[in-house]
């Protein structure tokens, strides 16, 4: 069945909705801050869930409530800010995911979302592009990666769809490879055998459907004898770290690292040296999936600190309180204007720091921030942290 949650993720929606104490702490929701209607407020969504799922509710009422409920649930960026601050610790992300499943059951996904799902399922990437193009990033960067595929190694670089196929992310994967080569890490890649991590399917609430992606990728990694994987994508990181063990219901001992964690380790053991100073002032945008979903806070900062003479300034909202860029939760498929609105608050914070480089650890954030700074005519360079590391490692711009 496409739509169901792993047993331990399944929650009683009505019971949780009834536990909300209306404190309003979750008013920091980025969607509510922009749209300002109570129906988009996390506690407002819970109120609609109460109405929708109450026993004996009339069908006509359910149909009426579902209109605003499903609209609100797909206006959510899945940033986890509400759950992070909830006074009574409600597992809100699980609730939002289950409501997305209910929308699917009722045939209420928008066509773009359905189309993405079908593309991912049939082509195993988010763009619906041919598998043969999955190594386009290496060809464009003039890197011959063929000897790396099918190669047994203790560490695998999981590239992810955006870094593999998207022109805007063209430098991300080559940067990771440069770091691995320079530090002589013995690594492999899945190459044409890599499938989408399944993140878009999981974000839509499709845990059962996403299981195929988890199983495929994990089988490939096991075949190559991989003990650790590294990725520069926060969505892939969350999928491997949190979602795969649960959807597969099995313990597996492959360690999952974000590139910042590996870089921090390589710096500590003296293999990675960031010798070149970067004169531009730097700030860092914490991706929601790294910081709130997975609790990864310090590694990016530890790495940036190692850049000689670095001028670093935190964004006003940082770490667990970081603002969402607006690009998460598949919002781009549902309301691109809202993405821009949410993003403009982040751009204002970037402006406030007077940073000349905004680094981040997620292709979705990078893509969204690139659009935001362009819309705002802000003169700031948007870099993935792997690109920043290479710049400090090689001294090139």
The residue range among 2-10, 39-47, 208-216, 233-241 that interacts with ligand SF4, by the rule CB under 6 A, is: 39-47
Q: Which is nearer to ligand SF4, 124 or 238 (CB)?
A: 238
CB of 27 to ligand SF4, least distance (A): 8
- Closest C-alpha to 357, from 308, 302, 397, 306: 397
Out of 10, 12, 18, 24, the only residue in the binding site for ligand SF4 (CB under 6 A) is 24
Out of 5, 31, 343, 364, the only residue in the binding site for ligand SF4 (CB under 6 A) is 31
CB of 278 to ligand SF4, least distance (A): 32
> Is residue 238 close enough to count as binding ligand SF4 by CB under 6 A?
no
Q: Which is nearer to ligand SF4, 78 or 172 (CB)?
A: 78
CB of 68 to ligand SF4, least distance (A): 14
**CA distances to 184, 195, 199, 204 from 116, in Å:** 38, 15, 12, 10
CB of 49 to ligand SF4, least distance (A): 11
Out of 3, 35, 43, 203, the only residue in the binding site for ligand SF4 (CB under 6 A) is 43
Q: Which is nearer to ligand SF4, 26 or 177 (CB)?
A: 26
359: which strand partners?
284, 383
Out of 29, 155, 221, 272, the only residue in the binding site for ligand SF4 (CB under 6 A) is 29
Structure tokens at 345: 């608050």
**Judged by CB under 6 A, how many residues of this single chain contact ligand SF4?**
25
φ, ψ at 214 (rounded to 5°): -60, -45
> Is residue 103 close enough to count as binding ligand SF4 by CB under 6 A?
no
Instruction: Report CA dihedral (36, 39, 40, 44) to the nearest 10 degrees.
Output: 110
Q: Could you give the count of Cα atoms lying within 13 Å of 268 in the half-sphere of its Cβ?
A: 8
Site string for ligand SF4, 54-83 (x = CB under 6 A): ----------------------xxxxxxx-
Q: Which is nearer to ligand SF4, 24 or 395 (CB)?
A: 24
Q: How far apart are alpha carbons 52 and 38 in whole angstroms?
A: 16
Q: How far apart are alpha carbons 259 and 284 in whole angstroms?
A: 15
The residue range among 3-11, 17-25, 169-177, 252-260 that interacts with ligand SF4, by the rule CB under 6 A, is: 17-25
Angle at 116 between CA 115 and CA 122, to 5 degrees: 90
Surface-to-core class of residue 385, CB atoms within 10 Å of its CB (0-12 exposed, 13-18 middle, 19+ buried): buried
> Is residue 95 close enough to count as binding ligand SF4 by CB under 6 A?
no
> Is residue 30 close enough to count as binding ligand SF4 by CB under 6 A?
yes
CB of 82 closer than 8 Å to CB of 29? yes
CB of 190 closer than 8 Å to CB of 158? yes
Q: How far apart are alpha carbons 140 and 169 in whole angstroms?
A: 12
> Is residue 91 close enough to count as binding ligand SF4 by CB under 6 A?
no
Q: Give the dihedral sign, CA 124/125/127/130.
A: negative
Which residues of the chain form contacts with ligand SF4 (CB under 6 A)?
Answer: 20-26, 29-31, 42-43, 46, 76-82, 86-88, 90, 92
């Amino acid at each position: 069945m496409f739509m169901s949650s792993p047993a331990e993720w399944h929650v009683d929606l009505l019971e949780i909705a009834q536990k909300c104490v209306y404190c309003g702490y979750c008013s920091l929701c980025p969607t509510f801050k922009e749209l300002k209607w109570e129906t988009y407020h996390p506690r407002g969504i819970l109120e609609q869930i109460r109405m929708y799922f109450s026993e004996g509710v009339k069908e006509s009422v359910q149909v009426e409530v579902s209109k605003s409920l499903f609209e609100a649930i797909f206006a959510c960026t899945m940033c986890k800010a509400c759950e992070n601050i909830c006074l009574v610790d409600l597992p809100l992300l699980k609730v939002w995911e289950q409501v997305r499943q209910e929308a699917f059951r009722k045939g209420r996904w928008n066509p773009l979302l359905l189309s993405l799902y079908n593309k991912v399922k049939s082509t195993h990437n988010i763009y619906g592009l041919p598998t043969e193009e999955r190594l386009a990033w290496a060809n464009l960067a003039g890197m011959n990666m063929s000897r790396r595929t099918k190669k047994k190694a203790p560490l695998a670089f999981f590239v992810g769809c955006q870094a593999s196929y998207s022109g805007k992310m063209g430098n991300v994967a080559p940067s990771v490879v440069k770091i691995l080569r320079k530090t002589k890490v013995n690594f492999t890649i899945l190459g044409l055998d890599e499938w989408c991590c399944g993140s878009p399917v999981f974000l839509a609430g499709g845990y059962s459907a996403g299981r195929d992606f988890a199983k495929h990728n994990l089988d490939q990694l096991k075949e190559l004898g991989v003990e650790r994987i590294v990725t520069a994508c926060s969505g892939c990181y969350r999928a491997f770290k949190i979602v795969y063990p649960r959807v597969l219901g099995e313990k597996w001992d492959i360690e999952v690292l974000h590139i910042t964690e590996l870089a921090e380790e390589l710096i500590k053991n003296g293999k990675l040296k960031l010798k070149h100073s970067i004169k531009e002032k730097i700030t860092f945008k914490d991706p929601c999936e790294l910081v709130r979903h997975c609790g990864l806070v310090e590694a990016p900062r530890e790495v940036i600190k190692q850049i000689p003479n670095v001028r670093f300034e935190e964004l006003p909202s940082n770490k667990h309180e970081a603002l969402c860029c607006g690009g998460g939760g598949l919002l781009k498929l549902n309301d691109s204007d809202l993405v821009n609105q949410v993003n403009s608050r982040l751009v204002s914070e970037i402006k406030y720091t007077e940073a000349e480089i905004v680094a981040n650890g997620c292709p979705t954030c990078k893509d969204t921030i690139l659009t935001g700074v362009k819309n705002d005519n802000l003169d700031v360079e948007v870099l993935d942290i792997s690109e920043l590391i290479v710049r400090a490692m090689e001294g090139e711009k």
